[in-house]
């Protein structure tokens, strides 16, 4: 069960990263900066939550 859950997380993050990279290429520089700030915050939250598991 845990292995399937972990592989789902990895697959979802890969799909999300691919979609995010495509979206970033279509953005203006200001939007891109805001998106980078938000993604850093999200990544730190994800890493801290994984540490709690």
pLDDT in tens, 2-24: 677 778 777 888 888 788 778 77
pLDDT of residue 43: 81
Mean pLDDT value across residues 17-42: 81
How far is 4 from 18, CA to CA, in rounded Å?
21
Residue 13: the pLDDT is 80
Domain range for 43 is 2-52
Q: What's the total number of domains in the chain?
A: 1
**pTM of the predicted structure, to 2 decimals:** 0.43
C-alpha closest to that of 9 among 50, 51, 52? 50
């Amino acid at each position: 069960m845990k292995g399937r859950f972990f592989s789902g997380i990895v697959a979802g993050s890969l799909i999300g990263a691919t979609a995010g990279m495509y979206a970033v290429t279509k953005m203006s520089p200001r939007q891109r900066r805001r998106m980078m700030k938000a993604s850093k915050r999200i990544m730190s939250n994800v890493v801290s939550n994984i540490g709690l598991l």
